[in-house]
Structure 1
């Protein structure tokens, strides 16, 4: 009943939002110039090309558009007169044509325009153009994964590490312009909280969209922005697909198969992904803690090995109900099984006593099963261009079983050697529903409205077990064992209005979200209940300038909603000396984000620059400190640390970002991107003094095409040192190289990749707290060689050339 009442509130809010926007806009006078661009050599459509109209007198800019996936374009609201039409796309010769609009013929259909590739003969080598790997618009970046060789044999983590503006640390945490709170979408829908990037093979990904300042159309969650991962789904006629097999150094194997069969109104699609990988790592810890008058120093070295096996499948179908209606149903089932073993050598020194030497074995066994079911519906109207209705229902069911333990292999007689275990049993279900409607209010304006509901429920238990004296059995420790329940319901509605007037584009939106959180931890932490209603405005203004230029200013309000593990007061021990616990009193953090961007194309060079500023209120941070009470009760020479979460004050982060692409030769292209920003965090001591540093990221990619069928990529990445709530993380840098040789008349491809050539990728962390200082060093296996083979079925083929944009996009907004 309460959920129904809250949903009614969201509906009322939506009605209020819609009332804020005009219900109509008078169409301006003017004609249309339309047509379709194709490759002159193979009659393939040319998507993402820029088409502009210039005045014949002075070549000044009049209007422009970008071709769609099928190469079609339409330049609208053009006054009568004579113009020069110019079409440009990377890797092709510029196309020019004179067009005339008159009072009797105010619109013109040019039909198919064939564009010649920028082909040059070099010792028998022909280099041809194709769709860019990075399409860099002001509002979002689109990365076409099939053109990125540096993710071959890898996972979504490898894909995102090669995305401009994005950083991924060794624990898999994603940051966007230094902000870690990023919302991950899969096929346009928010990923469940159990989603892991390292379990999604790169071979399943079609492209990645990075949206740094999303509009009100997107969920407000994710203060850093939105990353949308689009999975592959073949839709070509007949049988089509590709099979991939990769083998990596030190026992790494993965394979995938993607197929579709389209006949008439039905398109059946399916895929399988499997991987079996073993990883090695090492680390050390140097820590000093003071409790009362006692100081303990910990020096620890670790060596670990982990193994992970994954099997996942997807089946589904598209059915064209009518020419304007499509229904899609799909099911995904995956199973993941992994383990990790870590050998630790520790020296504990209390005050001036002789050090105690310990040898421990830590272990982690995990199994996860996930089922995803989704249904999508789409309707368009033939007589009303741009009018569209879409609906989606998604259900996710996840079961996770984890056992974490530690055994003392060697140590002083007085030190307890009983093995300890924690067993986690987690069940999670997520039900989401969404309806979106776009209604045109003229030739160049439209109103978007939508409703969404998201209901997440999870429950489970944690058992703490202690080895008995006979070493054969374990006894449950009731004082440290818990059961939990958590439920989150989010109901939302939004409305956005977009219009184009001359050289100006406008978009404004408002989103309302009602959130209700309930949960408890039994036996000792009781119940908690939070509910809040928030409004999130967004606005964008853009102007097209002379000389293929565009400038854009945008604003949005967003939030970072804590997940259930941050809320629940559920102690989770990584070992007998360190545990993590949630805080039911924390609140979401809220972000005001501003961006000012400029984009220009100068011949074959494309340059995009952005200034950004983010203000965060109720900043949410994790804090590690000594649990003095638990340390005294343990009676051991070491100490116990606790990691939890708190809200602190306000922070301001601002900086600049630059992205440029420049052909050096017909066979060599350079793409460079970088950012420089001020990273600010609130003081964990609560004294109002914030900490800040200046840092940045850089990425340089060289793309070579030495022969007609050979592609080479050399990529270097750098992330500067960043501060944390209680310390700092040192800079990280690496270089990757990859090659691809196309075979058998483009029916197959052989790839070779070496990641982190110089083995420089490692993580250094410094931590400071009251009575506690620590230095961590972690080195995972990052220098890995992969050899892969891909075979293409039907009409599927490898890209003929890897164009590493960023390529300039055209008008419009990503939200």
Structure 2
């Protein structure tokens, strides 16, 4: 705690010093602002590039990007004469000459600036430019989910299949450049739920856009080797009552619906909504495994062959009601209070046929294991945010807090019996229950301060407290046929506690010299992890203190060409499942348990980027290198001829390096291509538990999206995804590929739309894994129901006038 207090004191002193420095000089500067709209439709032109040139030499004086509502501002400009240049793919470049700032007129408000879309008539139909599906920046990629037809009726995980650098597996787990260690934020804020839960249970219809930041600055949590995925939910700030509704009906009982309402009156803005989703998936799981084992004192080896065939169906329902309000004390000060309930339940029924053959046993063994899993979880999020801006442009204070309660159960019921060659029950029945109850209470609170320095510089500082306290109870039961009841099994029962406390503070300083922008910063985090094995009365503590520096350089060659270099140090803390020493016997042939002695991973991440714009497209190229220390990996170890253990260990080191290319190109007014490809090599090394776990493999993934605009307000999209074979600590995972198709028609004066989508149209998505270790060969094939057709209708209503929302922390903008 002394270290934390000292660092926070240092940050405060730095803030005071910078404040004094800034007030010591009052340069002769003014400001320039405006709002960009599309001519005719009066819709905002989001994220347009706004460049400022000096007169008479037309030298670059600065550049900004418009926000989502088309607003832009140059807060501190030297007095002089300027030319304003606005450009955006799909629109004619706009120039406004002869702009002058002086002592008599230090502030210019250009009001609404109209931009002409690049239009063309095809058979009497006007084709207009639209916002790109993926927009590329030097510090992040933005996936405009609202423009992604292939995610209609899906979830955030489905939408991320089109995001650069991102891969999604069969269970909805997301990885970025080969790493599944990511931090997921919602509207720029932490939630208490896992990344997988957020991504798999958030309907795509509720999302406006998703930001992928692979190398965040010191301002953000150091957690997550793969960086940050920030989900921006749909919001509305129009006057009066307005909202939107959507209904999507899919094959095999896959449906979702949403309704969002917003009412703005004077200084209040009230919002409420509901998202509901029902999913159903059938799947198969086929495992072929051979284990070779030599018992202690024996001179011969015994080999067992296991053939496991599983079929199942998972059904789930999700309900997410929410409500809240904004209150604007003034244009510079506002608060937001909100609450959200997340309720999810799912059931999975499975039949697993097992066949075992051993070269030392006279008879083969076959048996069937019937499983029924019931899961339920209820989450309530309470959120608060505050924003206060000051007279000095760019100076502001923000604060936010999120308190979450999570309660749930995860119950598994098994019935096992011996079978003949045709899988008929021949006796030997046994029944087992594995019941788990858990509660989690996450809490996050943070405060940030930004202070401008000179004309283009700024200092940022802030502090954050985050904590997660989890308690869970496992109860194993076996059916006693003599008593005709289930009785407690002490071996499979336990109580477990996990607590994580992180205190953090940071400071960033950024400025611009000519066309070079730079930012340096450091984040300090004091962490304490407490793992409690209550059943065995054992407690494991792991406190540690770390500094996480970051540095960014951005060079503007011209208004259409930029270069960037950056570095950051990050951490991946093992989750509670990897730390829990309790042994899970739910599959007696594949036993799982955690490792409470796991150390966190530390990552040094380097990136270099190139960004080029032109009138009809853009290109981003990024080279990256990561050095990972204390790599956390799952390993398998043979226990005897029939059983394999699965646990987690720290390997020595790992590294990955690669190149990523992303771009878009309009080939015609009605046809646009966009895509990305990422190639990387991942290497890990180590020999934990006597198990060889060295692996090095080149992998790559690519995506291609084709968007076509047709007559009569019809548009179509085809998306192709491919991921090459992937390296694992003890083997490889085979290539994955799929194709999605979507078509949409705007109706009711473009207030409504009808969409038809087919995911994995050729039904090619499958997951094949091969593992090889000491005495172990493991081949796994998994296939789930992925070809699903969805018919959807969406409608928006209310006033058409938009305003900029004052809620703080919605976007990870302004890295420089």
The question of a shared fold, defined as TM-score above 0.5 by the shorter chain, is answered with: yes
In 2, are the aligned partners of 1:736 and 1:753 still within 8 Å (CA)? yes
Number of aligned residues? 787
Return the offset for 1:436: 1.0
How far apart, in 2, do the equivalents of 1:208 and 1:280 lie? 29
| Aligned counterpart in structure 2 of residue 538 of structure 1, from 522, 525, 550 | 550
Q: Superposition pairs for residues 475-494 of structure 1, below 5 Å? A: 475-494=487-506
How far apart, in 2, do the equivalents of 1:359 and 1:40 lie? 67
How far apart, in 1, do the equivalents of 2:552 and 2:121 lie? 46
In 2, are the aligned partners of 1:223 and 1:558 still within 8 Å (CA)? yes
Per the alignment, residue 400 of structure 2 pairs with 392
How far apart, in 2, do the equivalents of 1:607 and 1:80 lie? 35
- Does residue 1:760 correspond to 2:764, yes or no? yes
How far apart, in 2, do the equivalents of 1:35 and 1:307 lie? 50
Per the alignment, residue 364 of structure 2 pairs with 355
Per the alignment, do residues 425 and 678 of structure 1 end up closer, same or farther by CA in structure 2, a change over 3 Å counting? same
- Does residue 1:258 correspond to 2:270, yes or no? no
Return the offset for 1:813: 4.6
Per the alignment, residue 40 of structure 2 pairs with 41
Per the alignment, residue 660 of structure 2 pairs with 657
Per the alignment, residue 114 of structure 1 pairs with 114
| Aligned counterpart in structure 2 of residue 675 of structure 1, from 670, 674, 678 | 678
How far apart, in 1, do the equivalents of 2:74 and 2:800 lie? 31
How far apart, in 2, do the equivalents of 1:362 and 1:548 lie? 59
Q: Superposition pairs for residues 61-140 of structure 1, below 5 Å? A: 61-75=60-74, 84-99=83-98, 101=100, 109-140=109-140
Return the offset for 1:194: 4.0
- Does residue 1:648 correspond to 2:651, yes or no? yes
Return the offset for 1:704: 0.8
In 2, are the aligned partners of 1:547 and 1:600 still within 8 Å (CA)? no
In 1, are the aligned partners of 2:418 and 2:427 still within 8 Å (CA)? no
How far apart, in 2, do the equivalents of 1:521 and 1:711 lie? 57
Q: What SS is found at the alignment partner of 2:395?
A: strand
Return the offset for 1:97: 3.2
- For structure 1, the 5+ residue unaligned runs are 1-5, 629-637, 799-810
- Does residue 1:377 correspond to 2:371, yes or no? no
| Aligned counterpart in structure 1 of residue 330 of structure 2, from 308, 322, 342 | 322
Q: What SS is found at the alignment partner of 1:773?
A: strand
- Does residue 1:562 correspond to 2:574, yes or no? yes
Per the alignment, residue 623 of structure 2 pairs with 611
- Does residue 1:13 correspond to 2:7, yes or no? yes
**The 10-residue stretch of structure 1 (93-102 or 237-246) with the greater mean CA deviation from structure 2:** 93-102
Per the alignment, residue 227 of structure 2 pairs with 225
In 2, are the aligned partners of 1:347 and 1:357 still within 8 Å (CA)? yes
Per the alignment, residue 340 of structure 1 pairs with 348
Kindly report the root-mean-square deviation, in angstroms, between the aligned alpha carbons of the 2 structures: 2.5
Return the offset for 1:600: 1.1
Question: Residue by residue, what CA displacement relative to the aligned partner does 1:707-732 show, whole Å, maximum 9, x if unpaired?
Answer: 25112111111111111111111110
Per the alignment, residue 295 of structure 1 pairs with 303
Q: What SS is found at the alignment partner of 2:40?
A: coil
Per the alignment, residue 279 of structure 2 pairs with 277
Q: What SS is found at the alignment partner of 2:581?
A: coil
Q: What SS is found at the alignment partner of 1:478?
A: strand
Q: Superposition pairs for residues 236-247 of structure 1, below 5 Å? A: 236-247=238-249
- Does residue 1:452 correspond to 2:446, yes or no? no
**The 10-residue stretch of structure 1 (14-23 or 553-562) with the greater mean CA deviation from structure 2:** 14-23
Q: What SS is found at the alignment partner of 2:157?
A: helix
Question: Residue by residue, what CA displacement relative to the aligned partner does 1:767-813 show, whole Å, maximum 9, x if unpaired?
Answer: 12221110000001111000111121214799xxxxxxxxxxxx985
How far apart, in 1, do the equivalents of 2:387 and 2:79 lie? 37
How far apart, in 2, do the equivalents of 1:44 and 1:433 lie? 36
In 1, are the aligned partners of 2:273 and 2:322 still within 8 Å (CA)? yes
In 2, are the aligned partners of 1:80 and 1:106 still within 8 Å (CA)? no
In 2, are the aligned partners of 1:405 and 1:575 still within 8 Å (CA)? no
- Does residue 1:425 correspond to 2:424, yes or no? no
Return the offset for 1:75: 4.8
How far apart, in 1, do the equivalents of 2:54 and 2:331 lie? 39
Per the alignment, do residues 320 and 58 of structure 1 end up closer, same or farther by CA in structure 2, a change over 3 Å counting? closer
Return the offset for 1:474: 1.1
Return the offset for 1:397: 0.8
How far apart, in 2, do the equivalents of 1:579 and 1:688 lie? 19
Per the alignment, do residues 687 and 458 of structure 1 end up closer, same or farther by CA in structure 2, a change over 3 Å counting? closer
Per the alignment, do residues 291 and 193 of structure 1 end up closer, same or farther by CA in structure 2, a change over 3 Å counting? farther
Per the alignment, residue 806 of structure 2 pairs with none
- Does residue 1:52 correspond to 2:44, yes or no? no
TM-score with structure 1 length normalisation? 0.92
**The 10-residue stretch of structure 1 (75-84 or 475-484) with the greater mean CA deviation from structure 2:** 75-84
Q: What SS is found at the alignment partner of 1:189?
A: coil
Per the alignment, do residues 271 and 106 of structure 1 end up closer, same or farther by CA in structure 2, a change over 3 Å counting? closer
How far apart, in 1, do the equivalents of 2:701 and 2:40 lie? 40
- For structure 2, the 5+ residue unaligned runs are 295-300, 803-811
- Does residue 1:751 correspond to 2:755, yes or no? yes
TM-score with structure 2 length normalisation? 0.92
Return the offset for 1:659: 0.8
Per the alignment, residue 144 of structure 1 pairs with 144
Per the alignment, residue 807 of structure 1 pairs with none
How far apart, in 2, do the equivalents of 1:43 and 1:460 lie? 54
How far apart, in 2, do the equivalents of 1:231 and 1:684 lie? 45
Return the offset for 1:59: 6.2
Per the alignment, residue 366 of structure 1 pairs with 375
Per the alignment, residue 402 of structure 1 pairs with 410
Return the offset for 1:285: 0.7
In 1, are the aligned partners of 2:375 and 2:411 still within 8 Å (CA)? yes
Question: Residue by residue, what CA displacement relative to the aligned partner does 1:714-764 show, whole Å, maximum 9, x if unpaired?
Answer: 111111111111111111011101111111112211111000011111100
How far apart, in 2, do the equivalents of 1:128 and 1:316 lie? 36
How far apart, in 2, do the equivalents of 1:746 and 1:103 lie? 45
**The 10-residue stretch of structure 1 (108-117 or 495-504) with the greater mean CA deviation from structure 2:** 108-117
In 2, are the aligned partners of 1:80 and 1:100 still within 8 Å (CA)? no
- Does residue 1:691 correspond to 2:690, yes or no? no
Q: What SS is found at the alignment partner of 2:430?
A: coil
Q: What SS is found at the alignment partner of 2:652?
A: strand
**The 10-residue stretch of structure 1 (202-211 or 317-326) with the greater mean CA deviation from structure 2:** 317-326
Return the offset for 1:548: 1.4
Per the alignment, residue 739 of structure 1 pairs with 743
How far apart, in 2, do the equivalents of 1:448 and 1:77 lie? 18
Per the alignment, residue 716 of structure 2 pairs with 712
How far apart, in 2, do the equivalents of 1:732 and 1:796 lie? 44
Q: Superposition pairs for residues 162-173 of structure 1, below 5 Å? A: 162-173=162-173
Return the offset for 1:258: 0.9
How far apart, in 1, do the equivalents of 2:376 and 2:541 lie? 31
Return the offset for 1:239: 1.0
Q: What SS is found at the alignment partner of 2:153?
A: coil
How far apart, in 2, do the equivalents of 1:695 and 1:589 lie? 22
In 1, are the aligned partners of 2:698 and 2:727 still within 8 Å (CA)? no
**The 10-residue stretch of structure 1 (653-662 or 267-276) with the greater mean CA deviation from structure 2:** 267-276
In 2, are the aligned partners of 1:14 and 1:495 still within 8 Å (CA)? no
